[in-house]
């Protein structure tokens, strides 16, 4: 995108034809004046050092400098600055069931993957709407706060799996309540919740939560995943199926009645997903019926000052014009100085023109969502000027849009590595660098490198503290990092305990022969003493008492286990 900050100054270009006419008039006057003194050809032989070509060169150098100065004063602008715009759209919170029952394969490839594919295609159809994502099983938490960044939404969507929620089950009510709290406050746009689940609610009052949402004007639409006749739940990396506590294979079924009841309570619709696109079309039609209103959205517009290169060209032209003499130099008579200067200036101008042409072409393709073609255009601009900040940034964005995250990260790292220099050169680069670190954080989240994503989001917020989206992403990354560290610590503790147990077992194995031998000797001595000191009747009495004590002990143990089993809550792991 290109524009002039002060386009009115472009009217000064009308002065340029007047300068040309004035120069032609001056040449005609000079020739007439020479004719008064004699034949111009004879006079030229008398003045061998005079060079008319140099006079022409001086004029055109000055003419070029004046032309470029006019463009500099008009203020050419490229680049990107963050600004808030008004858009017509709605707000949508997606609640996705990630319980183990969603791994059932009664839909191709399974319920969860089918739901993710449907949501990805639904997101592709959004233009000015805002979307958020909540995942739930036995508990619910926000995976992506409500945003207009559809690339981040699809990126987070692709990484969803049942292991994200430690407590299994299906807490539909908790997900709906969290979604109600996640919408933008004081926003006049219509709001809706899209709940994607198999309807096996084990935990809470989902119907009550849906009624509460409807009372706030938020419709709850349900997409049922699975078949009513049910399907077993495969275990990952295993050919077996999930079993309950009694050893029976679990058959998870779509609870359509529950889904329909929730939809009625939430004043929404219910649709069952299958291997066609009927559920997707139903959701798209439902969203299209919603009343759209103005919502605030932060977008990046390309409006950075880019006059510096033109100013350097003007300075160069003026210096060359000053050093160019009207007369020929005997020393440099055979040197094509002006040809070299012309080639150099032309090369600089054409190189810059080619770079700007490719960038403009790439920006146009990028706006039309032709990201592959825009990538090619940006790469061509970098071939002309490999150090172009704008070309590098735009190329990274084009790669990011194509989900070529490693290549995009490489371009962003080039800018991140020289962030201090860029800020010193132009403070307006802060907005661009903020977006660079934001996207780097998203890419690290995609790769589950949560520590790197936390650092990147912090860098982005230092440059743009008012970016709520980055702040939300930072909080999510910190939570995931904490969970990852806890898992690593638990695994380390488990390995240490296992190592200690192995060492203890080895020591016991080494001590066992000696202990058995000592016990055998002690037993032999005791038997000899008992044979000498007590009769057979006394031995029988002692044995009966020992058996009775053992029986009493076993009864107490069984009773304690029964009490513990009675107090224990029966959890469903699907």
pTM assigned to the model: 0.48
- Cα gap 446→461, rounded to integer Å: 19
The distance in angstroms from the start CA to the end CA of the chain is 52
Asked if residue 142 lies in contact with residue 132, where contact means CB atoms within 8 angstroms, the answer is yes
Q: For residue 434, with 0-12 CB atoms within 10 Å meaning exposed, 13-18 middle and 19 or more buried, which class applies?
A: buried
Nearest to 469 by CA among 219, 296, 287: 296
- Cα gap 382→302, rounded to integer Å: 18
- Cα gap 433→427, rounded to integer Å: 10
Quickly tell me which residue has 């006019």 as its tokens: 70
532 — pLDDT class (breaks 50, 70, 90): very low
Q: For residue 543, with 0-12 CB atoms within 10 Å meaning exposed, 13-18 middle and 19 or more buried, which class applies?
A: exposed
Kindly calculate the radius of gyration of the chain based on its CA atoms and give it in whole angstroms.
39
Nearest to 405 by CA among 164, 160, 161, 152: 152
Phi, psi at residue 166, to the nearest 5°?
A: -70, -40
Residues 215, 217, 221: CA angle, nearest 5 degrees: 100
For 267-284, what is each residue's pLDDT tens digit? Answer: 999 999 988 888 999 999
For 433-460, what is each residue's pLDDT tens digit? Answer: 888 999 999 999 888 888 899 999 898 8
Rounded alpha-carbon distances, angstroms, from residue 80 to 4, 118, 194, 460, 492: 14, 33, 34, 15, 46
pLDDT reading at 149 higher than 60: yes
pLDDT reading at 548 higher than 70: no
pLDDT recorded at residue 389 = 84
Asked if residue 443 lies in contact with residue 409, where contact means CB atoms within 8 angstroms, the answer is yes
Phi, psi at residue 367, to the nearest 5°?
A: -65, -30
In this structure, the number of other CB atoms found within 10 A of the CB of residue 468 comes to 12
Asked if residue 195 lies in contact with residue 176, where contact means CB atoms within 8 angstroms, the answer is yes
Nearest to 353 by CA among 301, 315, 313: 313
* Average pLDDT value over all residues in the chain: 78
Domains of the chain by start residue, with CATH: 1-80+302-335 (no CATH), 84-299 (3.40.50.410), 403-520 (1.25.40.10)
For 30-71, what is each residue's pLDDT tens digit? Answer: 778 777 766 666 666 655 566 667 778 888 888 988 998 888
Average pLDDT (517-527) is 54
pLDDT recorded at residue 248 = 87
Least confident of 29-38, 204-213, 470-479, 546-555: 546-555
For 285-342, what is each residue's pLDDT tens digit? Answer: 999 888 777 665 554 455 556 677 788 888 888 888 787 766 555 544 444 444 454 4
């Amino acid at each position: 995108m290109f524009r002039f900050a002060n386009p009115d100054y472009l009217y000064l270009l009308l002065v340029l034809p007047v300068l040309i006419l004035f120069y032609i008039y001056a040449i005609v006057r000079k020739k007439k004046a020479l004719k008064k003194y004699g034949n111009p050809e004879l006079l030229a032989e008398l003045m061998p050092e005079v060079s008319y070509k140099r006079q022409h060169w001086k004029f055109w150098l000055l003419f070029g400098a004046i032309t470029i100065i006019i463009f500099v004063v008009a203020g050419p602008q490229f680049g990107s600055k963050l600004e808030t715009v008004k858009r017509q759209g709605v707000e949508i919170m997606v609640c996705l069931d990630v319980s183990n029952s969603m791994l059932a394969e009664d839909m191709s490839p399974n319920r969860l993957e089918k739901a993710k594919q449907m949501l990805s295609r639904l997101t592709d159809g959004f233009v000015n709407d805002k979307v958020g994502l909540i995942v739930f099983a036995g508990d619910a938490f926000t995976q992506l706060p409500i945003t207009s960044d559809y690339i981040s939404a699809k990126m987070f969507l692709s990484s969803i799996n049942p292991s994200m929620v430690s407590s299994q089950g299906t807490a539909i009510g908790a997900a709906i309540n969290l979604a109600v709290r996640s919408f933008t406050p004081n926003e006049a746009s219509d709001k809706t919740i899209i709940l994607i689940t198999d309807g096996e609610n084990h935990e809470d009052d989902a119907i009550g939560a849906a009624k509460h949402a409807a009372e706030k004007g938020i419709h709850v639409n349900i997409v049922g995943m699975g078949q009513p006749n049910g399907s077993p739940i495969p275990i990952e990396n295993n050919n077996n199926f999930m079993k309950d506590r009694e050893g029976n294979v679990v058959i998870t079924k779509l609870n359509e009645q529950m889904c329909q009841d929730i939809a009625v309570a939430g004043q929404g619709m219910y649709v069952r997903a299958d291997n066609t696109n009927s559920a997707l079309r139903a959701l798209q039609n439902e969203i299209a019926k919603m009343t759209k209103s103005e919502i605030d959205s932060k977008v990046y517009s390309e409006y950075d000052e880019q006059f510096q290169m033109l100013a350097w060209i003007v300075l160069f032209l003026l210096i060359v014009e000053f050093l160019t003499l009207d007369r020929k130099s005997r020393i440099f008579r055979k040197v094509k100085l002006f040809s070299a200067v012309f080639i150099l200036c032309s090369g600089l101008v054409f190189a810059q023109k080619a770079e700007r042409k490719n960038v403009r072409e790439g920006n146009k393709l990028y706006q039309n969502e032709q990201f592959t073609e825009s990538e090619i255009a940006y790469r061509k601009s970098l071939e002309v000027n490999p150090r172009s900040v704008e070309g590098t940034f735009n190329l990274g964005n084009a790669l990011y849009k194509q989900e070529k995250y490693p290549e995009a990260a490489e371009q962003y790292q080039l800018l991140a590595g020289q962030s201090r220099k860029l800020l010193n050169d132009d403070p307006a680069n802060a907005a661009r660098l903020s977006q660079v670190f934001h996207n780097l954080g998203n890419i690290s989240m995609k790769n589950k490198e949560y520590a790197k994503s936390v650092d990147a989001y912090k860098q982005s917020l230092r440059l743009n503290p008012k970016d709520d989206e980055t702040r939300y992403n930072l909080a999510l990354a910190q939570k995931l990092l904490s969970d990852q560290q806890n898992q690593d610590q638990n695994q380390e503790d488990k390995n240490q305990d296992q190592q200690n147990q192995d060492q203890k077992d080895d020591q016991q194995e080494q001590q066992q022969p000696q202990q058995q031998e000592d016990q055998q000797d002690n037993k032999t001595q005791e038997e000899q003493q008992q044979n000498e000191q007590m009769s057979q009747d006394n031995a029988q009495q002692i044995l009966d008492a020992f058996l009775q004590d053992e029986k009493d002990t076993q009864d107490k143990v069984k009773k304690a286990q029964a009490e513990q089993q009675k107090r224990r809550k029966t959890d469903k792991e699907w």
